[in-house]
Structure 1
């Protein structure tokens, strides 16, 4: 048998499917059938992720009896790391594992992590979070990349397909806090964490069933199965990935445990000294810049310019998320202190609480995802679909409009500084439509513009933008602090002024970045070389 024949035989054995399978896979509802398997796999994975996240700080404060500052520090460190590991997971998938094996490994690790949270011991707590961090690194960038492989380059259905996929993310995000939060509050924390674990198992089973039935076609296999099975020190390369993943767990656990320690000479408060932040800015960011520079030098002119466009899009998505992530901090406190949360729906009045306002965004995503998916297809048929940089500019502008609505609400406040919940809902609606212009479209373009051999690595960088955005969002949120000094209380009118002033500034800065995106559109369009 020739070397070529041997390689083909090895690949066939690895894939366990015939070579004449349609590489795009079967279709359903006008899209590759594999899209809907990935839709439900991601839905349940996001259910587990957001369900756990909804309980995490409450669990640390009320059950583990951590102080607020320690709980916030661990939560911040977890958020930074969980969005940083996809860079490593993406690189390993591109060069060794392939998308399928990476997704399966990540799903298994996260399933174990969710169930480990149900054990009320500190070592299990930190170990569980470490499992979720490592597992997310393998799962998150590669399932999004696998969606992109289902569509050929230039396929007009691509943006619509990613919008459908994005809807699955937000269905899980909307349901998770309701279900897991209810179980955690009514029956105990382990029931809430257990429900998140069950959700992750359902996602794992859905993806496994998709691989078994062949709906992903020829996509997502290891780039070189022979190399994957080669032994190093008596252990295959694939097994080494698993071993190193397990060995990394104590490292992440220690980073979480010490994530709030003060660095000598840096900062004057406990939370200003995050080791995680300094590791990101002085280690991770330079390392990524070096790897990107090396890849830029190695690629052809067309691929190099397309990669620069991806970097610019990543910059703009970081700006977007930095403002968007006020939802988990300043906007939630604004809702608690200055919004009348009695929602009059005609037949009944729903007495919301501040935490529940975080469901408004995923609700609108679910409501608008399919119409937006149809919109992109219709505009493509009429040759009127805006170019990606224009969509980014419009998305950031809509986010700015949402914050401007929050700011305008001050003109309609009552004597106690309370504004109608409809201002909050209207603002979130425009923030959400802005998100639909940017996030699913951005996912689609990352898979289309990135060089094939590093696409998962670039997808990891795309998700890493959320890590830096969370840090920037925290800095912005500090400007809305209205707690006063000591036990001094601040009136509703005073807190309303602080919040709405900052929200107005966010709006104007967002409009500025939208204009910048429009200015760069001609150059970015040219460097996309025919990709819309």
Structure 2
């Protein structure tokens, strides 16, 4: 049933203070959804190697394919939200599918692994791009508070990622709550957490959506209700029919290769097709958005080693304490970044505001370039861990954690600001599509992350644990060099991209 807008859009956008109250509601819905997502992400590769019997190379490729599909589907989910369902119904439907996928995985992860993943992938595609679009619509186009708002929203993302990212894998591996969870049920409980928190996320959204006024309602208000319902039901049915196809594609990574060869070029062609309907000024902004989208692919290809090769590095080559505190190495690998984002995102957001007031804030392109320089620094720290290793190839979890500390500042320069830039540079008619393309770039990042991780794993096949450490460390040094080059290129081309962006800061 269509909600009646209880709050006028202008009233929402004319809020006093730093943040609109609706941002809090969306913050909590997203927080629990990210608990579900990151909790699951941290378990995938370790489960595939330890319980499905895959070798490390295949597990990396499988991980890359799974994550690529999660993000690729956000493009499709954004498209259907824009054209048929509206942001709210799309989000709710996605959440329901994620709950089904998590329950399937918790019941029997070994036999139903790919079935559970299929539902989760399609569900995330409908949920993820649309909540970010709603955050963008809480602000007027030229509101300088928007970046700070996205930084705050991003903190919610990371609060969920921190809790879920640590708890799920630590329980599954048996380094947390050993006495509470029987050994044979540890992985079931790890996957089960994801279902519980997703239910909390949806309840939060349904209880607070009235405050969103007209934001996220149907894009087809001019249609007869019966006709609109037919389109919506067809979308729900189509998304269920695609689940088995996704299961086959994820289980067979060569099909994912073919898909990735097609979807990226097709989405760019679709964008050019849509650009016929916009002015020259709007099209220049869309080209600027495309530059950000393409560079973000490289950023995520390196960053997302966290769920692939870095997961295996954590499992095989790290000791189990930071500053004398015993911790799960994989729990730390999966959640340290989120911990640092929570600690520093508000401060970074306030620094941007402080600089904006003094007219010394670097433009978005330069911020992107800085993101790559921090990324390079973090991967150099991962490489540097090899100098602290013992003869068995076990090195310092504390030094490794410092790598994530450095990378976090790179992420804070790029990701929340990137999402904000997408909403500023795109006309509202195709905003969810552009947000979908932003996540599609992440899909390519995840896909290439799997390929890079598989290369590193392949080079260390049959090696001793110490030799494996050296191979992984050298791989991270290479990634540091590439990230440094990308950062320098971005800073050099920043004046050209700034011209395309025009008045958008």
Fold shared, TM-score > 0.5 on shorter chain: yes
Q: TM-score scaled by structure 2? A: 0.89
- Give the drift of 1:310: 0.7
Shift of residue 369, structure 1, vs aligned partner: 1.3
Q: Which residue of 2 aligns with 1:132?
A: 120
In 2: Cα distance, 1:228 partner to 1:502 partner:
58
1:338 CA displacement: 4.8
Establish whether residue 524 from structure 1 lines up as the match of residue 497 from structure 2.
yes
Distance verdict in 2 for CA 1:432–1:451, change over 3 Å:
same
Match of 2:177 in 1: none
Do residues 310 (structure 1) and 306 (structure 2) align? Answer: no
Q: Which residue of 2 aligns with 1:270?
A: none
Aligned length: 494
Which residue is 2:368 aligned to? 392
The aligned residue for residue 307 of structure 2 is 328
In structure 2, relative to structure 1, the CA distance for the partners of 1:94 and 1:67 (3 Å cut) is: same
Q: CA deviation at 1:468?
A: 1.1
Question: Over aligned residues, Cα RMSD in angstroms?
Answer: 2.8
Work out whether 1:501 is the aligned partner of 2:469. no
SS at match of 1:285: helix
Task: Give the equivalent residue in structure 2 for 1:467.
Answer: 443
Cα distance, 1:285 vs. partner? 2.2
Q: For residues 256 and 401 of structure 1, do their structure 2 counterparts lie closer, same or farther at Cα, with a shift above 3 Å needed?
A: closer
Map 1:20-419 onto structure 2 (within 5 A).
20=8, 22-24=10-12, 27=15, 30-57=18-45, 65=52, 67-68=54-55, 74-120=62-108, 125-184=113-172, 185=174, 186-187=181-182, 188=185, 189-212=187-210, 214=211, 216-227=212-223, 229=225, 231=227, 236-257=230-251, 259-260=252-253, 274-281=254-261, 283-336=262-315, 338-345=317-324, 349-410=325-386, 419=395
Distance 1:507 1:67, change over 3 A: closer
Q: Deviations along 1:312-370, whole A, 9 cap, x unmatched? A: 0011111111111222333344445554443234xxx4254345333211111111111
Matched residue, 1:444 = 420
- The offset of 1:93, in angstroms, is 1.4
- Mean alpha-carbon deviation: is it higher for 285-294 or for 475-484? 475-484
Distance in 1, matches of 2:309 and 2:465, equals 17
**Structure (1/2) with the larger helix percentage:** 2
Separation (CA, whole Å) in 2 of partners of 1:228 and 1:52: 41
SS in 1 for 2:107: coil
Unaligned runs of 5+ in 2: 175-180
Could you say what secondary structure the match of 2:479 adopts? helix
Please report how far the alpha carbon of residue 414 of structure 1 lies from its aligned counterpart in structure 2 after TM superposition. 5.7
1:69-111 deviation per Cα after TM superposition (whole angstroms, max 9, x unaligned): 7766654432221111111111111122221111111112212
Specify the SS of the correspondent of 1:222: coil
Q: Kindly tell me: are residues 85 and 386 of structure 1, through their superposed partners in 2, closer, same or farther at Cα, counting changes over 3 Å?
A: same
Q: CA deviation at 1:229?
A: 3.1
C-alpha separation in 2, matches of 1:122 and 1:481: 23
C-alpha distance in structure 2 between counterparts of 1:484 and 1:20, whole Å = 59
Alignment CA distance shift 1:249-1:496 (3 Å): closer
Give the superposition deviation at 1:485: 5.8
The CA deviation at 1:462 is 0.7
Q: CA deviation at 1:528?
A: 0.8
The answer to whether the 8 Å contact 1:47/1:196 transfers is yes
For residues 224 and 242 of structure 2, the distance between their equivalents in structure 1, rounded to whole angstroms, comes to 20
CA distance in 2, matches of 1:160, 1:428: 22
Greater CA deviation, 108-117 or 316-325? Answer: 108-117
19-28 or 193-202: which moved more?
Answer: 19-28
Normalised by the length of structure 1, the TM-score is 0.85
Q: 1:400 to 1:76 in 2, by over 3 A?
A: closer
- Tell me, what secondary structure is at the counterpart of 2:108? coil
Check conservation: 1:22, 1:217, Cα contact below 8 A: no
Instruction: Please say if residues 14 and 225 of structure 1, whose CA atoms lie closer than 8 Å, have aligned partners that are also in contact.
Output: no
Cα displacement (A) at 1:182:
4.8
Work out the CA distance in 2 between the residues paired with 1:21 and 1:298. 25
**Which has more radius of gyration?**
1
Of structures 1 and 2, the one with the larger relative CO (CA 8 A, separation 6+) is 2
* 1:409 Cα deviation from its structure 2 partner: 4.5
Task: Say whether the 8 Å CA contact 1:23–1:218 is kept in structure 2.
Answer: no
